[in-house]
Amino acid sequence: MRHRFPTITIAALTIIEFLALSGRNHSLLSRAFSLSKTNSRFPSKMPPTSLTKRCTAPAAAAAADDDDDAVQYFLLKSEPSEYSIEDLARDVREEWGGIRNYQARNHLRSMRVGDRAFFYHSQSSRPGIVGSVMIARTAMPDSSAYDPQSEYYDAKSTKENCRWDSVLVEYEMTFPVMLTLKELKDAVSNDPGGVIASMALFKQSRLSVVPLTRAQWVEVMTMIRNKSQEAGKTESEEGRNRKKKRIDNK
């Protein structure tokens, strides 16, 4: 759940933004997959824009002090009828707020600039993972909590003492295929002791914000890449069959 936040336009395209504009190119998805295996918040081959540098400077300094610059991974749920991956692709950046569960809020508070999250369409006829985002700003008080006009208003929150937080997310890409909840469940059935089976998506299914391990992130990206490649083969085969049919009909 989110509330509206002014869109920030980025002048220079990063590699990830280029990937986002080319979501159906399977070779680019493979490149995105290789980036997902990099454990730095800013891989050397993906230089941040000047805007990103300004946003991340305080967090980068803190991370250097702690000698902990590893990317953290999450999964964010949103009802597509309320706010979809297509909406985020249009807006580029969006305030991710309206969270009214303490455990989910604590997950938001643990996020750092440069962390990544899967965008998950929930409460739909076909739920699943549809894209990815990057955390562009760490947790701040969620203004909708103390706004009496907001549907997320919390009477116990004030501007000086807000119980709830929000983060700013930035669009990375829409995957060429959706990885459905059914496919994730099938993966659990096929490998009950695997990394997918231990995902908080299943263990904390009611939460709209859940953490992932790096191994889970990479495994999901592998499943998406494989499904995308299979879809590409099917499309190519169907195209060849249509061409052959046209030739035979001449």
pTM over 0.75: no
Report the pLDDT value the prediction gives residue 18, as an integer from 0 to 100.
Answer: 37
Chain centroid to CA 28 = 17
Greater pLDDT, 92 or 20: 92
- The structure tokens listed for 205 are 């299914």
The yes-or-no verdict on residue 23 having pLDDT over 90 is: no
Q: Which helix (H) or strand (E) holds 141?
A: strand 128-141
The pLDDT-based confidence of 234 (bands split at 50, 70, 90) is confident
The pLDDT-based confidence of 228 (bands split at 50, 70, 90) is very high
Q: Which residue has the tokens 């997902």?
A: 36
Average the pLDDT over 96-109 and give the result.
Answer: 97
Average the pLDDT over 23-31 and give the result.
Answer: 50
Average the pLDDT over 203-231 and give the result.
Answer: 96
Average pLDDT, the chain: 80
- Which superfamily is assigned to 15-244 in CATH? ph1033 like domains (3.10.590.10)
- The structure tokens listed for 181 are 């909840």
The pLDDT-based confidence of 233 (bands split at 50, 70, 90) is confident
Report the pLDDT value the prediction gives residue 145, as an integer from 0 to 100.
Answer: 97
At 19, is the secondary structure helix, strand, or coil? Answer: helix
Alpha carbon distance 194, 198 (integer Å): 7
What pLDDT digit, counting tens, does each position of 122-181 carry? 999 999 999 999 999 999 999 999 999 999 999 999 999 999 999 999 999 999 999 999
The pLDDT-based confidence of 69 (bands split at 50, 70, 90) is confident
The yes-or-no verdict on residue 56 having pLDDT over 50 is: no
Strand 93-96 relative to strand 165-180, pairing: antiparallel
At 167, is the secondary structure helix, strand, or coil? Answer: strand
Alpha carbon distance 64, 25 (integer Å): 36
What is the DSSP track for 47-105?
PPPHHHHHHHHHHHHHHHHHT--BPPEEEEEE-TTTS-HHHHHHHSEEEE-----HHHH
Contact 121, 85 (CB under 8 A): yes
The yes-or-no verdict on residue 31 having pLDDT over 70 is: no
- How is the chain split into domains, by residue range? 15-244
Alpha carbon distance 28, 23 (integer Å): 8
Report the pLDDT value the prediction gives residue 54, as an integer from 0 to 100.
Answer: 36
Of the listed ranges 36-40, 177-181, 183-187, 231-235, the one predicted with least confidence: 36-40
Report the pLDDT value the prediction gives residue 2, as an integer from 0 to 100.
Answer: 57
The yes-or-no verdict on residue 117 having pLDDT over 60 is: yes
The yes-or-no verdict on residue 20 having pLDDT over 60 is: no
